[in-house]
Chains A and B, each alone.
Chain A
Amino acid sequence: MTNKAIIVEKLSKTFNGFKAVDEISFEVGRGEIFGFLGANGAGKTTAMKMLCGLSMPSSGKATVAGFDIYQENESIKKNIGYMSQKFSLYEDLTIRENIRFYAGIYGIRPDIIKTKTVQLLTQLSLEKEADQLVGQLPLGWKQKLAFSVAIFHDPQIVFLDEPTGGVDPITRRDFWNMIYDATAKGITVFVTTHYMDEAEYCDRVSIMVDGQIDALDTPGNLKRLYQAESMDQVFLQIARKAKRTE
Chain B
Amino acid sequence: MNPLKYILEKEFKQIFRDPAIIRVIFILPIIQLIILPMAADYEIKNINISIVDRDHSTTSNRLIHKITSSNYFKLVDYSGDFNQAMTGIDNDKADLIIELPRGFEADLYARKEAKLFLAVNAINGVKANLGATYLRTIIQNYNNDFRIALLTPGRFNELPVIETTSSNWYNPRMNYKFFMVPGILVLLITMIGLNLSAINIVREKEIGTIEQINVTPIKKFHFILGKLIPFWILGLIVITIGLFIAWLFYGIIPLGAYFTIYVFAAVYLLVILGMGLLISTYAENQQQAMLISFFLLMIFVLMGGLYTNIDSMPEWAQWVTKFNPVAYFIEVMRRVVLKGSGLSDIKQPLLIMLIFAIVINYWAVISYRKRS
Q: Residues of A at under 8 Å CB distance from B?
A: 52-56, 73-75, 77-78, 80-82, 84, 86-93, 97, 100-102, 104-107
Verify A54–B211 contact, CB threshold 8 A.
yes
Q: Residues of B at under 8 Å CB distance from A?
A: 2-3, 5-7, 9-10, 13-14, 17-18, 207-209, 211-218, 370-372
Q: Which residues of A contact B5 (CB under 8 A)?
A: 104
Q: Which residues of B contact A75 (CB under 8 A)?
A: 217
Verify B6–A101 contact, CB threshold 8 A.
yes
Sample 10 A-B pairs with CB under 8 A, ordered by A number.
A54-B211, A54-B370, A77-B217, A84-B212, A86-B208, A91-B207, A92-B18, A93-B14, A104-B2, A105-B217
Verify B214–A54 contact, CB threshold 8 A.
yes
Give A55 to B13 CA distance when docked, in angstroms.
30
Query: How many contacts A-B (CB < 8 Å)?
Result: 78
Minimum C-beta distance from A64 to chain B (A)? 11
Verify A54–B215 contact, CB threshold 8 A.
yes
With contacts A101-B6, A101-B10, A105-B7 taken as known, whether A53 is within 8 angstroms of B215 at the C-beta atoms is yes
Verify A84–B3 contact, CB threshold 8 A.
no
Name B372's closest neighbour in chain A (CB-CB): A55
Give A100 to B371 CA distance when docked, in angstroms.
25
Minimum C-beta distance from B35 to chain A (A)? 32
Q: Which residues of A contact B212 (CB under 8 A)?
A: 82, 84, 88-89, 102
With contacts A54-B211, A84-B212, A86-B207 taken as known, whether A74 is within 8 angstroms of B18 at the C-beta atoms is no
Name A100's closest neighbour in chain B (CB-CB): B6
Give A106 to B207 CA distance when docked, in angstroms.
21
Give A106 to B213 CA distance when docked, in angstroms.
10
Q: Is the interface of B mostly helix, strand, loop or mixed?
A: helix
Minimum C-beta distance from A222 to chain B (A)? 30
Verify B3–A53 contact, CB threshold 8 A.
no
Give the residue of A52, A80, A84, A104 whose beta carbon is less than 8 angstroms from that of B208: A84
Give A89 to B210 CA distance when docked, in angstroms.
10
Q: Which residues of B contact A77 (CB under 8 A)?
A: 215-217
Give A54 to B18 CA distance when docked, in angstroms.
29
Q: Which residues of B contact A107 (CB under 8 A)?
A: 2-3, 217
Apart from A101-B9, A105-B3, list 19 A-B contacts with CB within 8 A: A53-B215, A54-B370, A54-B371, A56-B371, A81-B215, A82-B215, A86-B207, A87-B208, A88-B211, A90-B10, A90-B209, A93-B14, A100-B6, A100-B9, A102-B216, A104-B3, A104-B6, A106-B216, A107-B3
Name A53's closest neighbour in chain B (CB-CB): B371
Q: Which residues of A contact B14 (CB under 8 A)?
A: 90, 92-93
Verify A92–B17 contact, CB threshold 8 A.
yes
Verify B215–A52 contact, CB threshold 8 A.
yes
Q: Which residues of A contact B371 (CB under 8 A)?
A: 53-56, 73
Q: Which residues of A contact B216 (CB under 8 A)?
A: 77, 102, 105-106
With contacts A97-B13, A105-B7, A106-B216 taken as known, whether A84 is within 8 angstroms of B211 at the C-beta atoms is yes
Verify B217–A78 contact, CB threshold 8 A.
yes
Verify A105–B215 contact, CB threshold 8 A.
no
Q: Which residues of A contact B214 (CB under 8 A)?
A: 53-54
Q: Which residues of B contact A93 (CB under 8 A)?
A: 10, 13-14
Minimum C-beta distance from B123 to chain A (A)? 52
Give A39 to B66 CA distance when docked, in angstroms.
87
Minimum C-beta distance from A69 to chain B (A)? 10
Q: Which residues of A contact B218 (CB under 8 A)?
A: 105
Q: Which residues of B contact A81 (CB under 8 A)?
A: 215
Verify A56–B372 contact, CB threshold 8 A.
yes
Q: Which residues of A contact B370 (CB under 8 A)?
A: 53-54
Q: Which residues of B contact A92 (CB under 8 A)?
A: 13-14, 17-18
Verify B217–A74 contact, CB threshold 8 A.
yes
Give A74 to B218 CA distance when docked, in angstroms.
8
Name A101's closest neighbour in chain B (CB-CB): B10
Verify A105–B6 contact, CB threshold 8 A.
yes
Name A84's closest neighbour in chain B (CB-CB): B211
Minimum C-beta distance from A153 to chain B (A)? 9
Name A52's closest neighbour in chain B (CB-CB): B215
